[in-house]
Structure 1
Amino acid sequence: MQDAITAIERCRKPVIAAIQGECRGLGVDIVTACDIRYCSKDAFFSVKEVDMGITADVGTLQRLPGIVGFGNAMELSLTARRFSGEEAKELGLVSRVFGSKVELKEGVRTIAEGIGEKPPLAVVGTKAVLIRSRDVSVEQGLDYVATWNSSMLLSDDLNQAISAYTHKRKPTYAKL
């Protein structure tokens, strides 16, 4: 199970979670492995494992502190209390709370389409560098991004982006 959840985080392309209704236990494991999280107003969350007599073991305890802070993760994990989408937003677990399921679906689709229109190598690189930088020093992160970008200069994406901007047209990027 750990590898299945970690595969979400390792996916080269951005993974967006759209959460509506209940998100407990394994659901929290899954959404913490996603790159961006949104929810509807009716969503609620709970790190429920401690109430079930087990320790969360497929990623919440490893990923949640980096998202909501150590103290908040400790409190949520030890109490197993239910918290709202609005509180999830305040904690940083979700980026935005939509008013309804329909608004969530439409809003996330628009966001995903917007990301999909960006240079694919820049999107993949941004995700890779952010994940790598989370786990290393600033200096190591800067070295990693410098190496990454030097290899990206070989692609046509940069030329396409600049040309499209200059000529006020939509860029055409190669598929990954």
Structure 2
Amino acid sequence: MDKGNYKSLKIVRTSSGSNVFNLIINRPSHVNALSADFFIEFPQALSFLDQNPDVAVVILSGAGRHFCSGIDIQVLNSNFADRPLSDRGRVGEKLRRDIKFLQDAITAIERCRKPVIVGVHGACVGGAVDIITACDVRYCSKDAYFSVKEVDLAITADLGTLQRLPGIVGYGKAMELALTGRQFSGSEAKEMGLVSKVFDTKEAMEEGIKAIAEGIAAKSPLAVTGTKAVMLKSRDMSVEQGLDYVATWNSGVLLSDDLKEAVMAHLQKRKPSFAKL
């Protein structure tokens, strides 16, 4: 699937010749609710961007007035409709596979070698929090608001928030947000470390993220993708295991043309130029 054939998404290159691409959740008339199409198309789009050598950094955002209002109620209904109650075991097994399928679509963010930066404006609710906690860097505008909403829908959040949010904001804070389902602001999200910066407006956020992404895109792609991979792997390792992993990683890629180019550019006081990945 190429970058132009999606029902729920849109891929746009930030500018001609740029190695930064925008991945946009594109259902503004439905407050960007996550449809069944989204869960099929999102991992396909991320795979396309991951494999495209012209892509160095991905910016994730939402079209219209809000980032994302969470999972479309139609998707939730489909998980419970037409399920015969005569065999509880088979019903449960099928539901488990359905949940794993939805989880896999969100985890595709982490599988993408390229950094995924998310910009949040307006609503970021329920499944949208699952998405942003899987992203590598998070920013928002002043009008953004967040909620781990699933508990209010009689659901235990199951697409990644309960696993990823504690590592970002701390266990106690994540527990409080998940149990209450309360709404919190962009400034509180910044205070707890969920986002790195709050911009005054959506437009200022878009410009700011673009500048940050272009800066990352100018760096060695081997170093950038390696940093993401090692950070993610080390998250679930002891310090000793993480150090061993990065030593093994660098033994395979450190002695690269990128290292030579970075050293020469520094000595010659010029900007380095790296080959695509």
Using structure 1 for the length normalisation, give the TM-score.
0.98
Instruction: Give unpaired runs (5+ residues) of structure 2.
Output: 1-101
CA deviations 1:8-62 (Å, max 9, x no partner) are: 1121010000000000001100000000000000000000000011110110011
User: What secondary structure does 1:81 align onto?
Assistant: coil
Q: Which is helix-richer, 1 or 2? A: 1
Single out whichever of 11-20 and 148-157 deviates more from structure 2.
148-157
Structure with larger RCO (C-alpha < 8 A, sep 6+): 1
In the TM superposition, residue 155 of structure 1 has moved relative to its aligned partner by: 1.7
Q: Which amino acid aligns with 1:109?
A: K
> How many percent identity over aligned positions?
71
**Higher Cα Rg: structure 1 or 2?**
2
Q: Deviations over 1:38-95 (max 9, x none)?
A: 0000000000000011110110011000000000000000000000000000111000
The answer to whether 1:169 aligns with 2:249 is no
Counterpart selection for 2:124 from 17, 20, 23: 23
- CA positional deviation for 1:119: 0.5
> What is aligned with 1:4?
105
User: Which amino acid letter does the alignment assign opposite residue 48 of structure 1?
Assistant: K
In the alignment of these two chains, the number of paired residues is: 176
What TM-score comes out, normalization by structure 2 length?
A: 0.63
Tell me the equivalent position of 2:140.
39
Instruction: Give the structure 2 partner of residue 101 of structure 1.
Output: 202
Decide which of 243, 246, 264 is 1:142's aligned counterpart: 243
Distance 2:110 2:128 in 1: 14
Task: Map 1:148-159 onto structure 2 (within 5 A).
Answer: 148-159=249-260
Shift of 1:154: 3.4
- 54, 57, 64: which one pairs with 2:155? 54
Mapped to 1, the partners of 2:126 and 2:111 lie a distance apart of 21
Matches within 5 A, 1:70-89: 70-89=171-190
* Matched residue SS, 1:170: coil
Aligned-residue offset at 1:170: 1.6
The list of structure 1 runs, each at least 4 consecutive aligned residues, that deviate by more than 4 angstroms after superposition, is none
The residue number in structure 2 matching 1:67 is 168
Offset, 1:153: 2.7
Q: Distance in 1 between matches of 2:254 and 2:162?
A: 38
